Amino acid sequence: MTIRDLRKDKANSADYDVCVVGSGPAGLAITKVLSDNNFHVCLLESGGLKFEQPVQSLNHGTQQGFRDDLGTARPRQFGGASSVWRGHCATMDPDDFLPERWSGSIGWPLDYSDLAGYYRRAADFLDFDYRLLESNSYQNNDFLAFDGDRVQTKLFIQRPTRLGQELKDWIKQVDSVDLWVHASLSSVKSKGNKIEYVTARDLADKELKVKARIFVVAAGGLENPRLLLSFANGNLIPIDQNARKAIGRYFSLHPHFFYGALLLTGQAAEKPLYLPQS
């Protein structure tokens, strides 16, 4: 991978097979797969290789509801949210994809089975054993006999992989990807139903025009809809009314845990699954 800084690079245009916007977990995962399949990829990152407050200020905005701080929860730097996440990993449940009465939503545009085949690949990317998330990897007597309708045993793995650090060696070795830092997606040029090119800018408004056959927006759960709504409202991208109404409707809030303590005694206290882990 060639690391190119828009602030210093003399180029003002570039041409690729695929342009991926965002170098967080999603953007890096898809870039890795594309690179392994010999695609020439442009990876646009709004920030630099490390945290920089001037770029981070682009996150500021107003919000309602649960108070995750917009300015700090989504780092604009190589590695994205993986730079600060605690790495709680778990599979979704089938009912997570069902419509909620209070939301007026028809539910997610995908279901549990659509994701099931990708969990193992995600675990490999984050470098942990996927079997640790599968209840059938444990003996039945490992689990306490809770009333399944009231209390369920959910398996989580805490694997706070810092992708910006973990992929340093890969960055130095691969030739099919250009990482552009200090390159914030700012505009889109479309013709009919096809995006011809996008423009990225640094904080001093230096521009880079990127042409590609395919464009992937992987800027995160908040930035994706913000970009798409901005471009759609400005008629910069071809999105029909039904699709436009769906943008941002399926946002899933970062999991927050509200919990109590369960004091185990007797034989229950000896079950390995519930023993403190080092």
pLDDT of residue 102: 60
87-112 pLDDT, tens digit each = 888 888 888 887 766 666 666 778 88
Can you give the chain as a three-state secondary structure string? CEEEECCCCCCCEEEEEEEEECCCHHHHHHHHHHHHCCCCEEEECCCECCCCHHHHHHHCCCCCCCCCCCCCCCCCECCHHHHCCCCEECCCCHHHHCCCHHHCCCCCCCCHHHHHCCHHHHHHHHCCCHHHHCHHHCCHHHCCCCCCCCCCCCCCEECCCCHHHHCHHHHHHCCCEEEEECCEEEEEEEECCEEEEEEEECCCCCEEEEEEEEEEECCCCCHHHHHHHHHHHCCCCCCCHHHHHHCCCCCCCCCCCCCCCCCCCHHHHHCHHHCCCC
Give the whole-angstrom CA distance, residue 154 versus residue 17.
41
Give the whole-angstrom CA distance, residue 205 versus residue 41.
23
Q: In DSSP terms, which residues pair with 5 in a beta bridge?
A: 181
Q: Which of 31-45, 94-108, 151-165, 196-210 has the lowest mean pLDDT?
A: 94-108
Nearest to 203 by CA among 73, 4, 47, 13: 47
pLDDT of residue 116: 85
39-83 pLDDT, tens digit each = 999 999 999 999 999 999 998 887 776 667 777 778 999 999 999
pLDDT of residue 169: 80
pLDDT of residue 265: 86
pLDDT of residue 1: 64
In this model, does residue 257 exceed pLDDT 80? no
Please count the other Cβ atoms lying within 10 Å of the Cβ belonging to residue 156.
Answer: 14
Sheet holding 184-191: strands in order across? 2-5, 177-181, 41-44, 13-21, 207-217, 194-201, 184-191
pLDDT of residue 189: 92
pLDDT of residue 198: 96
Using pLDDT thresholds of 50, 70 and 90, give the confidence band for residue 207: very high
Q: Which of 7-16, 90-99, 196-205 has the lowest mean pLDDT?
A: 90-99
User: What's the predicted TM-score (pTM) here?
Assistant: 0.86
> Which of 126-140, 152-166, 252-266 is the most confident on average?
152-166
pLDDT of residue 269: 82
More confident residue, 259 or 5: 5
pLDDT of residue 96: 80
More confident residue, 37 or 254: 37
